[in-house]
Amino acid sequence: MTVQELDAIRAKKQQLIDVRRLVREQAEEMAKHTGYRHQVLVCGGTGCTSSHSKQVIEHLEKTLAECGIDDVLVVKTGCFGLCTLGPIMIVYPEGAFYAQMTPEHVETVVRQHLVKGGTIVRELLFKDTLHEDGSITPFAETPFYKKQMRIALRNCGVIAAEDIEEAIAAGDYAAIEKVLTTMTPDDVINEVLASGLRGRGGAGFPTGRKWSFAKASAGDVKYVCCNADEGDPGAFMDRSVLEGDPHCVLEAMTIAGYAIGAHQGYIYVRAEYPIAVQRLKIALEQARKHGLLGKNILGSGFDFDIDIRLGAGAFVCGEETALMTSIEGHRGEPRPRPPFPAVKGLFGKPTILNNVETWANINPIIMKGAKWYASIGTERSKGTKVFALGGKITNVGLVEVPMGTTLREIIYEIGGGIPNGKAFKAAQTGGPSGGCIPASLIDTPIDFDNLVAIGSMMGSGGLIVLDEDTCMVDISKFYLEFTADESCGKCTPCRIGTRRLLDLLTKITEGKGTEEDLAKIEELCEHMKSSSLCALGQSAPNPVLSTLHHFRNEYEDHIYNHHCTAGVCKALLSFTIDKEKCIGCGLCARNCPVGAIARTDYVAPGHKLASFAIDPAKCIKCGVCQGNCKFKAVEKK
Cα 348 → chain centroid:
32
195: in domain = yes
* Cα distance between residue 497 and residue 244, in whole Å: 39
Task: Give the domain extent around 426.
Answer: 384-467
Q: What DSSP designation does 425 have?
A: E
110: in domain = yes
Q: How many CB atoms lie within 10 A of CB 146?
A: 13
Q: Are residues 391 and 362 located together in one domain of the fold?
A: no
Of the candidates 461, 496, 492, 477, which has an alpha carbon nearest to the alpha carbon of residue 543?
A: 477
In the prediction, which pLDDT does 343 show? 95
Residue 324 belongs to domain with CATH number = 3.40.50.11540
155: in domain = no
Q: Are residues 236 and 288 located together in one domain of the fold?
A: yes
Residue 622 belongs to domain with CATH number = 3.30.70.20
Q: Are residues 309 and 407 located together in one domain of the fold?
A: no
Edge-to-edge strands, sheet with 397-402: 397-402, 384-391, 462-467, 424-429, 435-438
Q: Give the pTM.
A: 0.91
In the prediction, which pLDDT does 22 show? 83
* Cα distance between residue 309 and residue 105, in whole Å: 40
149: in domain = no
* Cα distance between residue 6 and residue 210, in whole Å: 30
161: in domain = no
478: in domain = yes
151: in domain = no
Dihedral sign, CA of 249, 255, 257, 260? negative
Q: Are residues 364 and 243 located together in one domain of the fold?
A: yes
Cα 12 → chain centroid:
33
49: in domain = yes
CA dihedral 573, 579, 580, 584 (to 10 degrees): 120
Q: What DSSP designation does 423 have?
A: P
In the prediction, which pLDDT does 32 show? 82
- Answer whether 254's CB lies under 8 Å from 293's CB: yes
Q: Are residues 524 and 629 located together in one domain of the fold?
A: no
Residue 541 belongs to domain with CATH number = 1.20.1440.230
Q: Are residues 613 and 521 located together in one domain of the fold?
A: no
Angle formed by the axes of helices 24-31 and 3-21, to 10°? 130
In the prediction, which pLDDT does 118 show? 87
* Cα distance between residue 302 and residue 101, in whole Å: 46
User: Helix, strand, or coil here: 624?
Assistant: helix
Give the residue from 503, 537, 560 where a domain finishes.
560
In the prediction, which pLDDT does 137 show? 87
Domains of the chain: total: 5
In the prediction, which pLDDT does 34 show? 86
Q: Are residues 343 and 389 located together in one domain of the fold?
A: no
Range list of H helices, 290-411: 320-327, 356-360, 362-368, 370-374, 407-408
In the prediction, which pLDDT does 156 show? 96
Burial 25-63, CB ≥16 within 10 A → b, else e: eebeebbeebebbbbbbbbbbbbbbebbbeebbebbeeb
- Answer whether 415's CB lies under 8 Å from 465's CB: yes
Q: What DSSP designation does 349 have?
A: S
In the prediction, which pLDDT does 560 show? 93
Residue 85 belongs to domain with CATH number = 3.40.30.10
Q: Are residues 250 and 335 located together in one domain of the fold?
A: yes
In the prediction, which pLDDT does 284 show? 98
Give the residue from 415, 436, 467 where a domain finishes.
467
Range list of H helices, 369-471: 370-374, 407-408, 448-453
Dihedral sign, CA of 394, 395, 397, 400? negative
Q: Are residues 451 and 504 located together in one domain of the fold?
A: no
Q: Are residues 410 and 551 located together in one domain of the fold?
A: no
- Answer whether 57's CB lies under 8 Å from 103's CB: no
Q: Are residues 529 and 543 located together in one domain of the fold?
A: yes
DSSP string covering 97-123, please? EE-S--HHHHHHHIIIIISTT----GG
Give the residue from 345, 373, 401 where a domain finishes.
373
Q: Are residues 239 and 267 located together in one domain of the fold?
A: yes
H/E element holding 387?
strand 384-391
User: Helix, strand, or coil here: 27?
Assistant: helix
Residue 391 belongs to domain with CATH number = 3.10.20.600
Which residues of the chain fall short of a pLDDT of 70?
A: none
